[in-house]
């Protein structure tokens, strides 16, 4: 892990450099390929999907194989641990309870007889991408489907890459959540199909869900034709801890992010260099026993950062600059930090608040802004699956109250027809 000291005059310059290197990649070749795939799907529909399933997934499929409706229990029930399913069900219950609190309220504002309504409506349709390659995360199904259902979305479409054997926990959760429209397609071609439609697949209004570089690039390209949730980057965490905290626990929190991907970023902020060394030694010892030890090692070597600070009370300035996806406050008296923390996806308070709880069970959503986008966006929620309408009802009284003002403002902007549409209503 790279060690940066806040006392150095070049600290923020060095920090910026280490944060940027993860996404300063030249993806011109990738973007050009994705463009070609999207154009091909637009032109050739199902035929293109079948072609790319063979090319990228090495799966030979027919048109009828693209779609799978009404998953049956016998397709997965003998291949899963029922105790694990019980845990997933507990997660579903908690996520439902938390997200129901997010349902927005409509309201009416009366202004001199003019009634102004703010009205929330669910999106008509959404597409949810479920990764099925190197990374298989059934929990992401929960985090995407539940807020969509609570919002009232009628048509929820799920896509997942074709393979010889679909992960049984993916099938189990699609069954539990009563998803009826499922397509076995992946990559950029799946995003194109959701955006533009094919003979088999009707297009949707907005696309959600994580994926590889092909998926992320495709979401960028189709944005505007459809809405998208966010461009998900590799996972990231900032852990704030001092010498009074347990170095074993801190080490595990850093590794938990590093194991996602070699491009994941784990950052430790501490006021004690010896504590940081202890954490590093523990990581070396514990990671050697894990199946993703190579991923952890590469992630921490390439992107891991230890930030040494003189005064831990001032760390929020650095945290706001980083704008991390996850922030874990190990330190005591942590709540006084909250008012000063502006740019964070999700905050975990106290030594027992492992970020893993947020990923799986407690009820908050684990789809969060990355790459510093916490400066302007939030984690996934019910509102992402809704849109707001404004309704204006004006009677004679409110018309007379505002008419002259509208005419004057239209004059300033040179919009004569705007003025006329008001003036003409003043004649009997």
- Contact between 184 and 201 (Cβ < 8 Å): no
Whether 348 contacts 358, CB under 8 Å: yes
**Does residue 67 register a pLDDT over 60?**
yes
Which band of pLDDT confidence, cut at 50, 70 and 90, is reported for residue 23? low
Which DSSP letter does residue 60 get? Answer: -
**Could you read off the pLDDT of 89-107 as tens digits, one per residue?**
999 999 999 999 999 999 9
Residues 115/118/123/129 CA torsion (nearest 10 deg): 160
326 carries an active-site annotation: yes
> What's the pLDDT score for residue 212?
85
CA gap 178, 162 in Å, rounded? 20
Q: What pLDDT, on the 0 to 100 scale, is given for residue 25?
A: 58
Give the number of residues written for the chain.
428
Contact 325, 237 (CB under 8 A): yes
Give the mean pLDDT of 389-397. Answer: 92
Any bridge partners for residue 349, and if so which? Answer: 329
Are 210 and 131 spatial neighbours (Cβ–Cβ below 8 Å)? yes
Neighbours of 403 (CB within 10 A): 15
Asked if residue 15 lies in contact with residue 21, where contact means CB atoms within 8 angstroms, the answer is no
Residues 255-304: pLDDT tens digits? 999 999 898 999 999 999 999 999 999 999 999 999 999 999 999 999 99
Largest distance between two CA atoms of the chain: 87
DSSP character at residue 231: -
Cα–Cα nearest to 76, from 4, 168, 147: 168
Rounded (5°) CA angle 112-117-119:
175
pLDDT at 366: 94
Residue 111 token pair: 């202004």
pLDDT in tens, 301-339: 999 999 999 888 889 999 999 999 999 999 887 677 788
The token pair at 3 is 């060690």
**How much is the pLDDT for 111?**
85
| Interval 387-408 mean pLDDT | 93
Quote the CA–CA distance of 363 and 194 in Å, as a whole number: 28
Helix (H) or strand (E) holding 118: strand 114-122
Q: Which pLDDT value is given to residue 428? A: 60
Assign 63 a pLDDT band (cuts: 50, 70, 90): confident
| pLDDT of 69 strictly over 80 | no
Neighbouring C-beta atoms of residue 154, cutoff 10 Å:
11
pLDDT in tens, 116-154: 999 999 999 999 999 876 677 899 999 999 999 999 999
- Residue 310's alpha-carbon distances to 240, 242, 269, 314, in angstroms, are 13, 11, 10, 9
In this prediction, residue 59 has a pLDDT band, given cuts at 50, 70 and 90, of confident
Q: Which domains does the chain have, with CATH numbers?
A: 2-23+233-362 (3.40.50.1980), 28-228 (3.40.50.1980), 394-426 (no CATH)
Q: What gap in Å lies between CA 225 and CA 231, rounded to an integer?
A: 16
* Rounded distance between C-alpha atoms, residue 417 and residue 367, angstroms: 47
User: Comparing C-alpha atoms, which of 387, 384, 381 is closest to residue 96?
Assistant: 381
| Catalytic, out of 259, 325, 351, 355 | 325
Q: Determine which one of 326, 328, 330, 366 is catalytic.
A: 326
Q: How far apart are the first and last CA of the chain?
A: 78
| For residues 223-234, average pLDDT | 90
Distance (Å, whole) CA 236 – CA 268: 11
Cα-Cα-Cα-Cα dihedral sign, residues 92, 94, 95, 97: positive
18, 267 Cβ separation under 8 angstroms? no
* 75 confidence band (pLDDT: 50, 70, 90): confident
Average pLDDT, the chain: 92
| Mean pLDDT, range 54-76, rounded to an integer | 83
Give percent of the chain above pLDDT 90.
77
Give the model's confidence band at 411: pLDDT under 50 very low, under 70 low, under 90 confident, else very high.
very high
Q: What pLDDT sits at residue 24?
A: 55
How far, CA to CA in Å, does 370 sit from each of 19, 292, 379? 11, 22, 10
- 407 in active site: no
| pLDDT over 60 at 382, yes or no | yes
| pLDDT recorded at residue 322 | 95
């Amino acid at each position: 892990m790279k060690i940066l000291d806040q006392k150095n005059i070049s600290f923020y310059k060095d920090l910026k450099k280490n944060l940027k290197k993860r996404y300063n990649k030249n993806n011109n070749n990738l973007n050009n390929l994705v463009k070609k795939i999207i154009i091909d799907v637009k032109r050739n529909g199902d035929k293109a999907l079948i072609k790319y399933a063979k090319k990228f997934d090495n799966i030979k499929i027919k048109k009828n194989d693209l779609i799978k409706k009404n998953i049956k229990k016998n397709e997965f029930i003998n291949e899963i641990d029922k105790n694990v399913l019980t845990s997933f069900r507990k997660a579903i219950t908690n996520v439902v309870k938390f997200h129901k609190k997010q349902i927005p309220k409509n309201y009416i504002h009366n202004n001199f007889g003019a009634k102004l309504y703010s009205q929330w409506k669910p999106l008509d349709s959404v597409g949810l991408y479920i990764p099925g390659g190197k990374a298989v995360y059934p929990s992401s199904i929960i985090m995407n489907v539940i807020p969509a259902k609570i919002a009232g979305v009628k048509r929820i479409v799920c896509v997942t890459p074709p393979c010889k054997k679909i992960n049984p926990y993916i099938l189990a959760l699609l069954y539990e959540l009563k998803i009826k429209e499922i397509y076995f397609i992946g990559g950029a071609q799946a995003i194109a199909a959701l955006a533009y439609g094919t003979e088999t697949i009707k297009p949707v209004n907005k696309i959600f869900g994580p994926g590889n570089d092909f998926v992320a690039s495709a979401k960028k390209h189709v944005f505007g034709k459809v809405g998208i949730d966010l461009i998900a980057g590799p996972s990231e965490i900032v852990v704030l801890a001092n010498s009074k905290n347990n170095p074993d626990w801190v080490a595990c929190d850093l590794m938990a992010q590093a194991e996602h991907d070699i491009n994941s970023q784990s950052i430790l902020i501490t006021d004690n260099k010896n504590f940081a060394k202890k954490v590093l030694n523990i990581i070396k010892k514990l990671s050697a026993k894990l199946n993703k030890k190579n991923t952890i090692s590469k992630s921490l070597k390439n992107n891991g950062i230890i930030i040494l600070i003189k005064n831990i009370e001032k760390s929020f300035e650095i945290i706001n600059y980083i704008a991390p996806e996850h922030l874990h406050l190990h330190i005591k008296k942590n709540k006084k930090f909250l008012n000063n923390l502006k740019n964070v996806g999700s905050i975990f308070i106290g030594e027992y608040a492992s970020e893993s709880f947020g990923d799986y069970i407690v009820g908050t959503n684990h789809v969060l802004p990355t790459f510093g986008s916490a400066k302007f966006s939030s984690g996934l929620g019910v509102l992402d699956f809704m849109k707001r309408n404004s309704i204006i009802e004006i009677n004679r009284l409110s018309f007379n109250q505002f008419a002259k003002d509208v005419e004057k403002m239209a004059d300033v902007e040179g919009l004569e027809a705007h003025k006329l549409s008001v003036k003409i209503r003043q004649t009997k």
